[in-house]
Every structure is written in C-alpha cells, then in structure tokens.
Structure 1
C-alpha cells in the first residue's frame, strides 16, 4: 500500500493544456475515484500516475518517492484497462501469471500466486479457458487477477466496467468494493459514471477541463457541492436549477415566489437556485409552486415526475409516497429552504458551509 501525491502536475500536448497545476493527495489504503465528463483529463491523469504518459510539469510521488523518471514497472502500480487487454492465445492461468514469468519467478511460485488470485476472484474453474470462452465480467476478473498477482502498492482502474451491461456493472462494482476491503490496497478508479463514483469511493475527485473542481467524500459532494457544476454532476437525476434574484437576504423566483434562505449574507443580484428532486415536497399546505406533469417515470419503488412550472422552468420531482399522479396532472410543490443551494453568477455555492 502507498500514498500518492501530485504537486503542481501539468500535462500539455503541444499548446493544448489538458491538466493544469494539479495538487492532489491520495491516502494510503483509500479508494479514490476520478470522475468527470468525457475529455476532462481523468484517464490522462491516471496514465500519468502509471507512467504511461510523461508529465509536462510538477512531481508525482508514490509512497514518498518521486517517480517522474521511473518506468511503469518500477512504480509499484498495476493497471486494469477498459478493454481488458488479455492475450487471446493464452489461457486464463497464463494471462494472470504472465508478468510473474517475465519477472523470472519459478513455476511453483507462479502457480501458487495465480491460484491465490483466482481464489480471491472466484475464477478457479476458468483457469484453463481462453479469453474467447469467457463473458465480459469473467474477462474483467481475469484482468484484475493479473493486477493482483503483482502485489502492487497502488491499483489503477481505467473505466473497467464501461464495456459491461447494466446488470453486470452493478455486480462487478460490488465485487471491486469487496476486493478493496479484503486487500486494503490503495485504489484509484476512473469513471464518467457518477453512480459508480458515489457507491465505490472513500474520496471523489471531480474534474472539469483538467482542473479539480472539488475533492471530498460522496456525502460532502452530494450535500455541500462547491459549485453549480459539481451540484449538477453529482446526483441522479441531476439537481434542478431555477433562475432567481437575491435582494435583502431573500430569494425571488421568476414566478414571484419569495423564499428566505440562510447563508446569503449581503449578496444581491441574479442567482441559480438548486434543489434535488428528492428534496422537493409534493402536496404541501405551504405551496410555493405548481408543477404541470408531462411524464411519469416509474422505477418500481420510486417514481419521478418530469414537468414544468408556470413560468416554463423544467423540473424533476421524486414522488416516492404519492401514488396516483399521472401525466397531465398539476401538483403543488414546496421547496424546503434548508435543502436549497444558491449559486452566484460565477457558479459558486453561497450556501455551502465554510470549512472549519
């Protein structure tokens, strides 16, 4: 196990800057997830840690040792790729043990380590098959097994589940979480799927355009996003945003509704009011707005109402305990002020608690 430290790390391709002056600390034994939209630099950042991409500026330390000039094999890391990267002509046994053979270990040592890895991943019956005879989930387990046998200080996962179907992604996500608990290893995981990030991570790093927007636990990012981008990216369905104005410590929505929200100070002017679908209350006696329901999305235990307010603003509302609502209905809404977020003209969250 090892910590990973990035100090003023930058990456350019010619004049195009993809990572900008990044400072980041990843704790020993933690499960850290890099998340963000396509093109934000998360995979590039992972490959820089692995040594597969040279950095343009700054320093990367693994377990306190500067690794800028070290080859990938010298960094004590193992990487699991999106496309599995298995040798098609080799059996599972030989795929898992390949790096050990290259390192000069004896056959007995290799057999022992491969068997241990296969047992951990519950793929012992597959050891004599070739990749073409495996399902996508089985191939991904083999790729993880190949990483495990190297006993790395840091595991790196580059969108390892994106090629799997939805049901298999869920089960493999659970397997990776269990694997982290068993091994206690430092793991860094890249995904564009915020659900994966929320369910797997001890710490989430939200990236946009090569810059860290926020670092924190899943709960911190969900409850106290730094800015409008993080608020909209974390959470499914995404947070609702309503145009409003602040004056005299009160918020006035476009339809004339007036709300009082703590933490605004003396701020005034245009803002965006953010509220998550599950925090909007339906059928309250303290009505603040009416929602004209356009679509009802029924997910079994949960339903979501997609509709518009009287001023044309689109809104998503969770309707967990309100059966009978259908498309075309109009329902009264209340926005609990303690659950609201207010973002200024620069997208910064005015209601986020100050750091101690």
Structure 2
C-alpha cells in the first residue's frame, strides 16, 4: 500500500476545496504527513467514485454471444475499466430473470463465482447486486440461496413483463430478438411470459415473504423504475428503501417524502434525457430529488455526469461530486468511504485540472490506475 503525502493539488474535502496536503498510509487517509512527498501541482484530488448500480461488466463477461467464455479474465478487465474511470467501489448489477441469456440464473451464477474469485486480487472493491424479476416465482428460492451463498448485500426488484400487451392478448414488441437472446423460440418465449403474467395475483404475497427474510439478514433492497407514489409506498412497506431510476417526478418525490434514497442514471444526465422517454435525471436533480448517480450501463458516465451538473448550473462541484461518492456510499451503508477524511479508506481520484481527465485512481491505498505525465511524478 502507498505511503505518500500529496502536495500542491486542490483537494475536495467534505467542506469543499482546499489546497492543504493530503496524506495516505496503511490504506487510509491520515492526518499530517506520511511517506514520500509528491508534487501534484495542476491536479485535483477527489473522493473515489462509489457506483451504486452498473451492468457495464457484461461486455467483458460475454463480448460476443456464445463465442467466448473467459469469465474471470473478463472480470479482471472490468476492474481495470472501473479504475480508469475513477470508480473505486462498484456494485455489479446482475439480473436473475426469466429473460434468460445474460439475464438468466445460469449466467448470474457464473458472474457471482467470477467476482468471488477476482475481487480479492484487485484494488477496486467489487460488490454484487442481484436484480430479481418480481414474477419469476419458481426461481425465488434459488435466488435467495444465491444471495446467502455469495454474500450478496443488495437486491433490487424489477418487472420487465409487458403486462398491458399480454393482458390484451397481443405479442410484445421485439419478441423475436428477445427470444433469440434467451436461446428460446419466439413461441416458447411468449408462452413463458404469458404463464408468468397469469400468476400476477401470487406475486405480492411472495414478495412480502421474501423481503421479510432478506431484511432479517440485513440485505439492502431497492425497487427499479418506480412510476407512482403508490408503488413506492408499497415497496417501502416491505422494507425496500432505495428507489432506482424512478420514471416520474411523482415517484421520486414520494421516495424523498418517505425518507427513501433515490438513485438516478448518470448516462441520463450526460445525454440530457432518458433514452426511454421518462423524466430527465437533470430535472430531478434540479428539484433536489437525487442521492446518487450510477453508471447504469456506461462506466465513464458518473464522473462526466457530475461535471455536467456543474456545467448546467444545477450544483457546485463539491455538491455534484457527492452524488457519485458520499451519496452512494451512504445509501449503501458504506460509512468508511465516499469522503476524504482521516481514518477513512484511501479511495481517491487524481484528475488533470485542465482537461478533467483521470490520471490516477487509488483504491484502498493501492494504485488501481495510473497514466500520463502523473506517472512520472510518482515513479
């Protein structure tokens, strides 16, 4: 682990920017000085990014469907990409879904096993989120067992069934493409969706029991794509206290009014709108309805989204960066990171002030990413 004192940089501390030296030793931020002094004039030091939800690892785990199965190597590559984008803690969001393919339980088990093998060998803190489809009732018990077996601390509930179409007896859009991804024929895939939809009345009771058991184990829980205040209240009653990517102002406001955490998509901020036509994340941020920005599907997005909030005049730099560091750390219950304070983990990002490019990422006191002219100052 590094024992260094960084001098000459602008440092983003809990109270804002200052230019006092920052020292790290033994994997922690420490008071005073430590080890060798390094001149970082021209650079900014910010807290490491805590990514509360991201599935960008899929491209590493399955770069081409059916062509390559190098799961552990893919996870190592994913860790490197995370570090290159300033992410020091990553919640890897993996589906447990009837949709099959990369969203099916079999692929999920491969992801969980790969993370268990790779996580102890890389500086970035790799953690698991299981995304459970609410109507996948016959596989609830296996999902619950996987949570216990792999020590998964975060479960999020999704419902991707096209209920309106199924209720009308019509075929869902993009049926053939989705069926091919699942490895099923379109007819078989449609029959499965119809069968799951037909059991909708069983879902609330099954979720009540599952959520109660997960809560008893201390598992954090979230809902995905909330649309109404009523839906959010229903999840809150089950102990599901995180609202991921609410689709409406109503749902986000209901979460805030109920004391629940709100996670929004960083790519939504970067592009300026939801790709699905829902409320823009920037509008919710402007209303104070955001606790964390997550990478969703693109690991470069959190850092870029934080600066985009500054460019749009929504927040100042420390406020914006808290949405990708301290905010997600708090909602995940990680009290030892997200801020540059003595005693906390040495998770930090060193950024070229002129270009805002990340030159170094330190995770748990270890170099996870280092490049460019900054490397010459350390070596």
* TM-score of the pair, normalised by structure 2: 0.29
| TM-score where L is the length of structure 1 | 0.31
Bigger RCO of structures 1 and 2 (CA < 8 A, at least 6 apart): 2
